[in-house]
Amino acid sequence: MGRVVPSYRQWLESELRELQKFRRALRGKDRKAFDRVVELARKHASAASYLAGDDPYRAFMLAVLIELVKEMER
């Protein structure tokens, strides 16, 4: 039998495809910020995969928050 729940990476890429209209509607500076958030979420995809099962948004937010805290501390 195959996997019932898509992996975090699959889920993330699917969500990003759905958010393309939203991204295109953003102004240039905001679009860059959106792309940065996506980059930060992808950075921790391996760790997020362990948590993504029931609620991948939770894993997404944790991955982004970890990177934002690291940036603030720098």
pLDDT at res. 19: 93
How does DSSP assign the chain, residue by residue? ---SSPPHHHHHHHHHHHTHHHHHHS-HHHHHHHHHHHHHHHHTHHHHHHHTTT-HHHHHHHHHHHHHHHHHH-
CA distance 34 to 61: 13
pLDDT of residue 44: 86
How do residues 10-24 score in pLDDT, each as one tens digit? 888 999 999 999 999
Identify the pLDDT of residue 1.
55
pLDDT, tens only, 13-68:
999 999 999 999 999 999 999 999 898 888 888 888 887 567 888 888 888 888 88
Where do the structural domains in the chain lie, given as residue ranges?
A: 8-73
Angle at 20 between CA 62 and CA 32, to 5 degrees: 65
Residue 3 has pLDDT above 90, yes or no: no
